[in-house]
Amino acid sequence: MSTRDPAAAARAYISLGWSLTLGHRYRPRQGCTCAEEDCALPGAHPLAGESPQLHEDTVDEVVSTAPGAALIAGTNRFDVIMVPRMLGVAVMAELDRRTPTPCFFTEDSCALLVLPSTGLHAVVDDGIDVYSGPEGWVALPPSRGVRWDTAPWLEGTATPRELLHGVQVRPSLEKAFRMSRSGTR
């Protein structure tokens, strides 16, 4: 599955049962279409108000009308555990040895996808944010600055990767934060 082609990526996410909308776009030398001068997530956040949900039969048409638009997923089918990037690298190295976990990186963060309503069980530090439920959202690849480390499907297939419970991710997060505090690498 390609996550570089926005329409193909959108179809893949929809096939996982994820609710998906288009978000803002980033325009080189012009910034984010939200027009906020100091936009914290240029080209990788939802549009203001209600955005129409993407559907399999209209993805190509809708995505082609907004080149570079972010793909925004609601967090109703998964929770997102957001941690600082370097800690996320350590967590993913450990999780990959046991159970590869859907994970993507932004410039500053690592996002781990876990079972819905379980992300709070993984909070071991104030440096962790959890996005969950119908009000939560996340920008997915190929949104600007967002890249998969471990895609949510098994490589080369459309088979969804199994999501872990937040409790299963917690020990890896505890270890990464402990190592970070002690200066261990």
Q: What is the pLDDT of residue 185?
A: 54
For 118-123, the CB contacts below 8 A with 24+ separation are: 118/79, 118/165, 118/166, 118/167, 119/79, 119/80, 119/81, 119/166, 120/79, 120/166, 121/165, 121/166, 121/167, 121/170, 122/81, 122/166, 122/167, 122/169, 122/170, 122/173, 123/81
Q: What is the pLDDT of residue 4?
A: 80
CA distance 24 to 22: 7
Query: What tens digit of pLDDT does each residue of 116-159 get?
Result: 999 999 999 999 999 999 889 999 999 999 999 999 999 888 88
Compare 85 and 156 and report the one with higher pLDDT. 85
Confidence of residue 66 (pLDDT cuts 50, 70, 90): confident
- Mean pLDDT score, 108-118: 97
